[in-house]
Amino acid sequence: MKTAANLRRRELGAFLRAVREHVDPADFGIATTGRRRTPGLRREEVAAASGVGVAWYTWLEQGRVQTSREVLEALARTLRMGRDERRHLLALGGYLGDDVVDDDAAVELLRPMLDSWPLTPALVLNRRFDVLAGNAAYAAVWPEPVLSGRPNLLLALASSQRLQEMLVPEERFLYELFLRFRARADRFPDDPGVLERLRELRPDLGHWWNCRAVREFGGWPVTVLTGGRRLRFACSLLQPDDSTTVLVQAPADPETRRWVGLRNSA
């Protein structure tokens, strides 16, 4: 029976394998002369460096066993995971809470904050990255269809030619969102809504999912072409709980702030 716990263990194993295969053995002082059939580190090398048995680590990658937080922390150190990867690993292991909040309750809670940002476009998203709400500053910059009918932000960006033409470069913005979507989606492997969003994404983006890259923290720049202007924003995601995300686009220069202010007051 494919329970949520079983699915999560399988994803944890697949994530460990993906990270392991991208580690450079030379960084660990392992000679790479000759042919290594395994990309990155071998399982026995990871197990030895982490203080666990090879057979047990193999079972872990196969999703057959549950493990402690201490072991996951040791594996994260061995594989030299960054902050985002480490946090994702712990979440898959069940050591970060899944504090799920109802969509309508999240909007009610966050609406006052959104409305207090007259110059900062912002959206409230659920764990599937469906758009739950936006503020007036967002509507001043972006086309109205993005805010109507609670669409999915990833699908809208991937399928709308109009939105893609507004973004410079388009793929960078979409990719940064995808990395953060993946970091959240893996924690809800039995959510049919998440799987449905993935099936609807463009087929040419499948390699993003297969590489299992994730990101949770840190912002990224985006340039938006609208109204004959090049507006520059610093994007970031706030996560008030484990199921809700706030996409914030802070104006990056005085001209952008002035333009958003004028449009928002019109």
Distance, in Å, from the CA atom of 221 to the CA atom of 145, rounded to the nearest integer, reads: 23
Reply yes or no on whether the pLDDT at 178 is more than 60: yes
DSSP symbol at 94: T
DSSP for 129-160 reads -BEEEE-HHHHHHS-GGGGSS--BHHHHHHH-
Reply yes or no on whether the pLDDT at 149 is more than 80: no
Name the band, by pLDDT with cuts 50, 70 and 90, for residue 165: confident
Reply yes or no on whether the pLDDT at 190 is more than 80: no
Total number of residues shown for the chain:
266
Where helices occur in 3-82 by DSSP H, the ranges are 4-21, 43-50, 54-61, 69-78
What's the pLDDT score for residue 147? 62
| Residues 151-170, mean pLDDT to the nearest whole number | 83
| Residues 203-210, mean pLDDT to the nearest whole number | 74
What's the pLDDT score for residue 97? 60
> 42-95, pLDDT tens digit by residue?
999 999 999 999 999 999 999 999 999 999 999 999 999 988 899 889 888 988
Question: Token pair for residue 116?
Answer: 């207090």
Name the band, by pLDDT with cuts 50, 70 and 90, for residue 158: confident
What's the pLDDT score for residue 118? 94
Distance, in Å, from the CA atom of 172 to the CA atom of 165, rounded to the nearest integer, reads: 13
| Residues 24-40, mean pLDDT to the nearest whole number | 74
Structural domains in the chain, sorted by start: 4-92 (1.10.260.40), 103-265 (3.30.450.180)
What's the pLDDT score for residue 61? 94
Q: Select the highest-mean-pLDDT range: 149-158, 203-212, 253-262.
A: 253-262
Name the band, by pLDDT with cuts 50, 70 and 90, for residue 243: confident
Sequence-distant contacts of 35-42: CB under 8 A, at least 24 apart: 41/79
> What value does the mean pLDDT of the chain take?
85
Given a contact cutoff of 8 angstroms between Cβ atoms, the answer to whether 77 and 85 are in contact is: no
What's the pLDDT score for residue 98? 54
Name the band, by pLDDT with cuts 50, 70 and 90, for residue 231: very high
CA 220 to chain centre: 13
| Residues 162-191, mean pLDDT to the nearest whole number | 80
> 92-139, pLDDT tens digit by residue?
898 876 556 788 888 999 999 999 999 999 999 988 889 999 999 999
Among 203, 165, 204, 201, residue whose Cα is nearest residue 185: 201
DSSP symbol at 257: H
What value does the CA radius of gyration of the chain take, rounded to a whole number of Å?
21
pTM: 0.71
DSSP symbol at 215: -
Q: Looking at this protein, which amino acid is placed at residue 161? A: Q
Q: Select the highest-mean-pLDDT range: 14-23, 138-147, 257-266.
A: 14-23
Q: Is 107 exposed, middle or buried (0-12, 13-18, 19+ CB in 10 A)?
A: middle
